[in-house]
Amino acid sequence: MSSAYANLTKTFTRLSRFSHLSAITGWDMMTMMPPGGSSARGAALAELSVLQHEILTDKKVGQWLEEAAQDQLNDVERANLSEMQRAWQQASLLPASLVEAKSVAGSRCEHAWRQQRPANDWQGFSANLKEVVKLSREEAEIRAQANGCTRYDALLSVFEPGMTSARLDQTFGEIKQWLPSLLQRIVDKQAQETVDIPVGPFAVESQKQLGLAIMKLLNFDFNAGRLDVSAHPFCGGVPEDVRITTRYNENEFTSAMMGVIHETGHARYEQNLPKQWAGQPVAHARSTAIHESQSLFFEKQLGRSAEFLNLLLPHVKLLLGDQTALEQTNFIALNQRVKPGLIRVDADEVSYPAHIILRYEIEKALIGGEIEVDDIPALWQEQMQSLLGIDTTGNYRDGCMQDIHWTDGAFGYFPTYTLGAMYAAQLFQGVKKALPQVSELLREGNLQPVFDWLEQNIWQHGSRFSTRQLIENATGEDLNPLYFKQHLENRYLNNR
C-alpha cells in the first residue's frame, strides 16, 4: 500500500470524526436545543461544514487519489478508494461559499418551519424555501455540468448512486397504473370489516416504555444509542452512538409505536455496519434507498405482520392497559388498516407510494425550473386528489409543509422511500427462500435468524458493493418491483 492511500485513510478518518460531531450537534438541535440557540448553532454547523469541505477538497487529496489508483489494492481497499473518489468529486465541484450559504439557509428554513407549520403559514415558509431552492438549483447545475446529466439526476445521485429519473419515471409510472385500483379494492374489502379504535389517553411515559420494549425485542444496542423526542421522527448520530426519535400523541399510540420500529430498522443497520472499516467511506451505508429498505423491512415486512403484532400485543396491554380494542384479531386489523390520509409518515404501506410519487414529480419539476415554489400548493392539491382522492386546499400544515426534507435542500431524497419499500419486499422474499420456516420463527419470537440473514447479506458489507451488486448478491436479481406489488396483494387481499 502506498503512502498516498495511507494519507487518504487518515484524512477520511479525520473527516469521519468531524461528521460525528456534526451529527450529534444536529441531533441536539432537533431535540434539546432552546429556540434562542438556533442562529448560533446554524452558524457553528455551517463553519464545520466549510471546514470539512476544505479538508476534502484540498489539492493534496486529488493528487493522492490519482496516485492510489495505481496501487495494488485488495477488493475492499479498491471499493474504499472508489467511495473516496466519489465523495471528493461530489465536494470538489462546489465552492465553499455555496456550501456555507446552503447550510445557513437550510438551518434557517428548518428552524422557522417549526413555528410556521403549526401556524399554517405558507407565505412565511415559502419565503425561506425560495432561498433553499435557489441554492439547490445552483448546486444541481454545477453537478449536472460536471456529470453530463440533468439537474435532478445530479442531485438524485448524491443519495442514490446509479439511479436515474428515467428509471424512476418508468418504475413509478408502472406503480401509478396499478396502485389506485389496488388501493380501492383493499379499501372496499376493509369497509366490510369492523375495527375498534383503542380509546386513550395513553400516557407519553407509557408509550415511551413500550417503544423501549420494542427496541429491546428488535435487538437495539442501548450501549450504543438512545431514544428521544423530536418534531419529526428521525435516526441520526453515528454507528457508535445512534440517536433515534419519535413523537407522541396521547390520543393514539400506534403512530409512535410504528415510528420506533421504523427508526430502529435504520439504527440496527447503522449499529451493524462493518466496524473493521470504521472511519472509512466503505464502512458507510450503501445508499439512502438501502437504508430505507432496512427501516421498512422492520416496520412493514416485520412490524405489520400478524406474527410480529402478536409478539407486541402483551407489551401493549401491559404498558397501555387492556381493552376490547386490543383483542388479538382487532389489534392486527388495526395495524393493517388501509386508509388514505394527509400525512406521509402516518400513511399505510399501500397508499404510501402515492405520497412519494407526488413529492418526486414536484421536486423534479422544481429543480428543473419547470415550476416555482409558489406553484407547489396547487400541484400538491391536484396530485393528492388524483392519487388518493383527498382535498388539501388551504391546508398547508398537513399538505406541502408537513416534511422537513426540502427545508435543507434534500432534493432527490424522497424517491428513496419507495425504492426502499421495493427493496424491503424483495429482501424479505430472500429471507423466506433462505428460511422457509420464517413465519413459525416469528410466532415463536425467534427473530435472530432474520437478523443474521440481514447481517450476512446487507449490514456487514457497508458500501463494498454497488446497490445493484448488493441486491443481486442477496436475492439473485436486480430490483424487481413485482415483489412489492405481490406483498401488498398477499397481505391485504389474500390475508397472507
pLDDT at 1: 59
pLDDT at 244: 96
List, for the chain, all residue ranges whose pLDDT scores fall below the cut of 50. Answer: none
DSSP E strand stretches across 197-343: 225-229, 235-238, 241-246
Residue 463 C-alpha cell reads as 458500501
Residue 382: active-site member = no
Active-site option among 263, 299, 349, 363: 263
In 272-405, alpha helices (H): 288-296, 306-320, 328-335, 352-367, 376-388
pLDDT digits (tens, 9 = 90+) for 3-42: 999 999 999 999 999 999 999 999 999 999 998 998 899 8
DSSP code of residue 300: I
**Integer CA distances (angstroms), 10 to 55, 249, 280, 463, in order:** 11, 46, 9, 18
The CA R_g of the chain, rounded to the nearest whole Å, is 22
Name every residue whose Cβ is closer than 8 Å to that of residue 194 and which is 6 or more positions away in sequence.
none
- Give CA–CA dist 276/267, Å, rounded: 18
* Cβ atoms of 427 and 298 closer than 8 Å: no
Rounded CA-CA distance 438/444 in Å is: 10
How far is residue 482's CA from residue 346's CA, in Å, rounded to a whole number?
24
What rounded mean pLDDT belongs to the chain? 95
Cα–Cα distances (Å) from 112 to 25, 123, 124, 200, 215, in that order, read 18, 12, 8, 32, 32
